[in-house]
Amino acid sequence: SYELTQPPSVSVSPGQTAKITCSGEALPKKHVFWYQQRSGRAPALVIYEDTKRPSGIPERFSGSSSGTMAALTITGAQVDDEADYFCYSIDPSGDSWVFGGGTKLTVL
């Protein structure tokens, strides 16, 4: 079955840049979406179609994709950004969607 691979954890100090990666063999042809999930809450969309930011999401959140690797970058991370982040994309067949395993971002 298709897999998206993320690092389990990323840690930065406040004000630093956090970069969370997501790798998958179909990413050269399929969009990636990123979700933030704070503790005890439902996930929230922070990046769609690789690089687009929904209204209300701070500009410090950005997305990129090149080849089989996509990335979510938080420039000037804040303590409030501490959360789990999941990438999401469709498998090569186009029949099912898959989440990455999630990355726990610590900002302290």
Partner 1 sequence: QVQLQESGPGLVKTSETLSLTCTVSGVSITNFYWTWIRQRPGKGLEWVGYIYYTGGDAKYSPSLKSRVSMSVDTSKNQFSLQLTSVTPSDTAFYFCARGGGDYEVDFWGQGTLVTVSS
Q: How far apart are CA 69 and CA 79, in angstroms?
A: 26
79 close to 13: Cβ distance less than 8 angstroms: no
The answer to the question of residue 64 lying near partner 1 (CB under 8 A) is no
Q: Which of 22, 35, 65, 107 binds partner 1 (CB under 8 A)?
A: 35
The answer to the question of residue 96 lying near partner 1 (CB under 8 A) is yes
The answer to the question of residue 7 lying near partner 1 (CB under 8 A) is no
Could you tell me which stretch among 21-29, 58-66, 73-81, 88-96 binds partner 1 (CB under 8 A)?
Answer: 88-96
Look at residue 79 and give its three-state secondary structure.
helix
Q: For the chain, how are helix, strand and coil distributed in percent, rounded to 5?
A: 5, 45, 50
Residues contributing to the site for partner 1 (CB under 8 A): 1, 33, 35, 37, 41-45, 48-49, 54, 86, 88, 90, 95-102
